[in-house]
Structure 1
């Protein structure tokens, strides 16, 4: 008799286009469908920018509770429990505070993924008071969940400080979308995007917020003596107006706003820069590596974790130190870029691809189910 498939229910707030949703898509897109049957349950209506179509293409069964955040507090658990009793998954996989808390009340084997430093990220995003309450609440509920997966070794170590044991499953990147181009291909793409073909391009992707610290990137770039360089900011946020005002007379600095073709801009660039103050394991950085870009990134623990895989993938600089960043950018322009590119691609293929990440989760699913069957 053939073994029944392992039905995994992924529970999330929405499929909003974001780093965590991209990682979930990477997991389900690489599942062995001979072994696993994925279903995705969302708690709230989909926003305008959603990856719903991409999940449908991945042969995922989709359900939604269609609840607002406030109605979810009142009716969420009841509706979720009813849906789970109908769908009959073998185990639950959640990410995010809402789904982690709700699913912790269900009588099912439960895995959750933590993708950030809770005590840093919540206060930065929601303010000190609310963020601190959210952190304490989330940590308390994590201790009710069977298996915790952290998106990086550094996040796993951080959780341990709060008494939460976890398995480190490093984020992965979709190498079918993010990959390097030849010199000729890069030149053609630059022409298509309206970018200069004769400049060295530093690219910074992500929200223009204080957590990402784009001001340090801007100040460092302005300190560079080279006129043959361009700084490309992809993304939007509450700091954009301030940044544009500060560099209004510097034609080397380009703001694109939010774009849907981040991969094309990465493939067109030469170096990736991030001064971020808090990350889990940064999707932006590993996407850049997959496109062959050397990294120039701040010395926070999740960034340093990438350099633990290979020291020769770029430059590390001191967090919130524009002079240190400017020095790192100068060094990057003078080292063997082809060697750095090769090292980046090796790290991606061996450790940080979507396929590798998904396979690790699949092994975790089998181990959890085996213990209860």
Structure 2
């Protein structure tokens, strides 16, 4: 049996959500059935995972390793390379590669992972006018793919509700192992990371940008009167410097770190105030540790909490209202963490591991060729 050749298209291999999803697909792919290539379109950033990808038995082609190419030149080089390697299927993971992919010869089956339903995020990133143009382009090119795939069930539901399209959904998955709770290890990590022993810590992981609402979290935790509640805010972004100036002593802002898993194990609760998310890897990573969750009122967050019906594992917050966040903090700290931990970790193993995600993608690739 000939192997199915999958060629992934992505702007670069930077350490960000879509690339991490792609990495997890490849990490668990059956190389006896699939041949894998990756084509990148722009120079790598400082946080590139290129060397990690090179450890797989795959081919990586960098079309612009040093300098960005003009759109026309980039398409010409891309078309030439795709025809040269002649894959069975192309799989796009970003808007740039989606647009270019749809102009390539139709003999190559086109797969596109939709990492977030196009809407508010594009308006925040580009402004309302330009954002609406980007949204229209995303929808136009997504419709022309042979197999668009939503990164969460809620993404498929949004397309059905607003566009009338039936989109296959394959939830994102994390490759982190289940952490077997150990209080001694937790306290050792807290000491290593400069955290206080007697504080219950919430953890926020993400970019310090408008759509993530880190300012509202800082405002809420600045208002908390208890000295036994704090928050760890991992990440960087345009709002970091200003928020770092106004935070209180129980708000910890380490910036960028490679020790996310250790910070998760040292934490007690996960919190997200995002306006938009597809299915954030950080939620899935927190589930491997079994952290109770405070989540903003958006579809992907509702989806995760709805998957556990018999046990209260967290609460939806009004993420624009600091007082509601404080109220939900007061409620969640009274829940039984041991029971919650077991429920969340069981759901993670059943639905949100990288291996489950990868196997679902592999089946989708096979079915697409059969069609």
Normalising by structure 2, what TM-score?
A: 0.94
Q: Which runs of 5+ in 2 are unaligned?
A: none
* Partner residue in 2 for 1:17: 15
* DSSP-derived class of the 2:369 partner: helix
Q: Is the 8 A contact 1:67 1:76 kept in 2?
A: no
- Residues 113 and 149, structure 1, Cα contact 8 Å, conserved in 2: yes
Matched residue, 2:237: 237
Instruction: Kindly indicate whether the alpha-carbon contact (under 8 Å) linking 1:142 and 1:164 is maintained by their aligned counterparts in 2.
Output: no
Does the aligned pair in 1 maintain the 2:208–2:239 contact within 8 Å? yes
Question: 2:55 is matched with which residue: 53, 57, 61?
Answer: 57
Aligned to 2:285: 287
Please name the residue that 1:93 is paired with.
91
Q: Distance in 1 between matches of 2:10 and 2:165?
A: 21
Alignment partners' CA distance in 2, 1:164 and 1:48: 38
Matched, 1:319 2:319: yes
Match of 1:167 in 2: 168
Cα 1:68–1:110 change in 2 (3 A) is farther
Question: 1:59, CA displacement in angstroms?
Answer: 2.4
SS of corresponding position for 1:16:
coil
**Contact 2:43/2:68 (CA < 8 Å) preserved in 1?**
no
Q: Partners in 2 of 1:239 and 1:45 — Cα distance?
A: 26
Return the offset for 1:70: 6.3
Q: SS where residue 69 of structure 2 aligns? A: helix
Conserved in 1, the CA contact under 8 Å of 2:9 and 2:91?
yes
**Aligned equivalents of 1:166 and 1:13: distance in 2?**
24
Q: Give the aligned partner of residue 304 of structure 1.
A: 302
Alignment partner, residue 30 of structure 1 = 28
Contact 1:180 1:290 in 2 (8 A): no
Normalised by the length of structure 1, the TM-score is 0.94
Output the CA distance in 1 between the equivalents of 2:9 and 2:110: 10
1:120-159 map, 5 Å:
120-159=120-159
Unpaired runs of 5+ in structure 1? none
- Indicate if the aligned counterparts of 1:217 and 1:273 stay in contact, CA closer than 8 A: no
Judge conservation of contact 2:19–2:93 (CA < 8 Å) in 1.
no
Residue 72 to residue 138, structure 1, CA distance change in 2 (3 Å): farther
- Write out aligned runs for 1:1-373 (5 A): 3-66=1-64, 71-106=69-104, 107=106, 108-160=108-160, 161-176=162-177, 179-247=179-247, 250-311=248-309, 312-371=312-371
Counterpart secondary structure, 1:37: strand
Task: Write the deviation string for residues 137-194 of structure 1: whole angstroms up to 9, x where unpaired.
Answer: 1211111111100111221222331354311111111124x73541111111112212
Q: Which moved more, 1:158-167 or 1:182-191?
A: 158-167
Q: Secondary structure at the match of 1:230?
A: strand
1:268-306 per-residue CA deviation (whole Å, 9 max, x = no partner) reads 111111111111111111111112211111111111010
The secondary structure found in structure 2 opposite 1:201 is: strand
Q: 2:205 touches 2:233 (CA, 8 Å); kept in 1?
A: yes
| Cα distance between partner residues in 2 of 1:147 and 1:93 | 9
The residue matched to 2:175 in structure 1 has which SS?
coil
Question: Is the CA contact (8 Å cut-off) linking 1:298 and 1:317 kept in structure 2?
Answer: yes
CA 1:245–1:192: 2 relative to 1, 3 Å: closer
1:13–1:99 CA contact under 8 A, matched in 2: yes
Deviations 1:242-285 (A, max 9, x none): 322332xx211111111121111111111111111111111111
Following superposition, the deviation at residue 203 of structure 1 comes to 1.0
| Alignment size in residue pairs | 366
